[in-house]
Amino acid sequence: MEINRYLLSILVDNEPGVLSRIVGLFSGRGFNIDSLSVAKTTDPNVSVITMVTYCDIHIIEQIKKQLHKLINVITVNDLTEKKYVERQLALIKVHAKTEKRAEIMRIVDIFRSKIVDVGHAHFTIEISGDSGKIEAFTSLMQPMGIVEIASTGAIALGRENGKK
């Protein structure tokens, strides 16, 4: 069984309890949610849930079938099977010792991120991009001493010619 990353975009009715039912579906079956993001769409009655999960192909098919059965779910779009644009936003606070500040600022420039707060001992850095970019940046900041990280879940939209 091969475990893969799946990115689901789920259109749902914008009503109380919908997110709870979807999360309950996952927890009730022992499926893990790696990241979760919810926002209204251009239609105020509809929300989009972007969800990342890791599982095998049989489990994701089961998840999609179960999601389609939920009454407030309008569509389930598995973006993993398509071309899409994905972004996450992360705020990363790192130790900024005097001898490491130039190196941190160089890495921030290379990744086109930005320092959004400066203190005597710390920098807070804002970075956006796909999960690979965030992971690569985080691994380079690790030796500097990461104090804390706050991150949104993945958000994504299918490309115009979205078939792989």
Task: Convert the pLDDT of each residue in 3-38 to its tens digit.
Answer: 899 999 999 999 999 999 999 998 888 889 999 999
pLDDT at 133 over 90: yes
CA 155 → CA 46, 88, 158, distances in Å? 16, 6, 10
The predicted pLDDT at position 36 comes to 94
pLDDT at 164 over 80: no
Read off the pLDDT of residues 89-112 as tens digits, 9 standing for 90 and up: 999 999 999 999 999 999 999 999
Pick from 147, 116, 94: which is nearest to 103 by CA?
94
The predicted pLDDT at position 83 comes to 92
pLDDT at 63 over 70: yes
The 10 Å Cβ neighbour count of residue 130 is 15
Confidence class of residue 162 from pLDDT cuts 50, 70 and 90? low
CA distance 9 to 137: 26
Evaluate if pTM is beyond 0.95: no
Phi, psi of 147 (to 5 degrees): -85, -45
Which one-letter DSSP state was computed for residue 143? Answer: G
CB contact at 8 A, 88 and 128 = yes
Question: Given phi > 0 = left and psi -120 to 50 = alpha, else beta, which region is 56?
Answer: beta
Residues above pLDDT 90, as percent of the chain: 85
CA distance 134 to 161: 26
Beta strands in the chain (DSSP E): 4-13, 35-40, 46-55, 73-78, 82-95, 114-118, 122-129, 146-151, 155-163
CA distance 89 to 82: 22
When the pLDDT of each residue in the chain is averaged and rounded to a whole number, the result is: 93
Terminal-residue alpha carbon distance, the chain: 23
pLDDT at 42 over 80: yes
